[in-house]
Amino acid sequence: MDDTAAMQLALDEARRAMSHGDVPVGAMVLRDGEVIAAAHNERELRNDPTAHAEIIA
């Protein structure tokens, strides 16, 4: 996966966060161009101040 495609997936994750009232942040973890994790902010959804996208991913 190239950088542009990975960024698009991160933006898709951010939109998921925004859809349930969270700060629109998405995170992707890639290894050798392969997605091994994807997540979005869930602080408000989980009522958990540590549920940041980069931590969940």
- Every domain of the chain and the residues it spans: 3-56
pTM over 0.95: no
- pLDDT higher for 1 or 42? 42
Residue 46 token pair: 């989980």
Residue 36 to residues 8, 18, 26, Cα–Cα distance (Å): 15, 22, 14
pLDDT, residue 41, reads 98
List 34, 42, 44, 54, catalytic entry = 54
pLDDT, residue 6, reads 93
- The arithmetic mean of pLDDT across residues 9-18, rounded, is 98
Banded model confidence at residue 37, pLDDT cuts 50, 70, 90: very high
Whether the CB-CB separation of 30 and 6 falls below 8 Å is answered with yes
pLDDT, residue 55, reads 97
Our answer to whether residue 54 is catalytic in this structure is: yes
| CA atoms of 57 and 1, how far apart (whole Å) | 18
Strand (E) or helix (H) holding 55: helix 53-56
- The arithmetic mean of pLDDT across residues 21-47, rounded, is 96
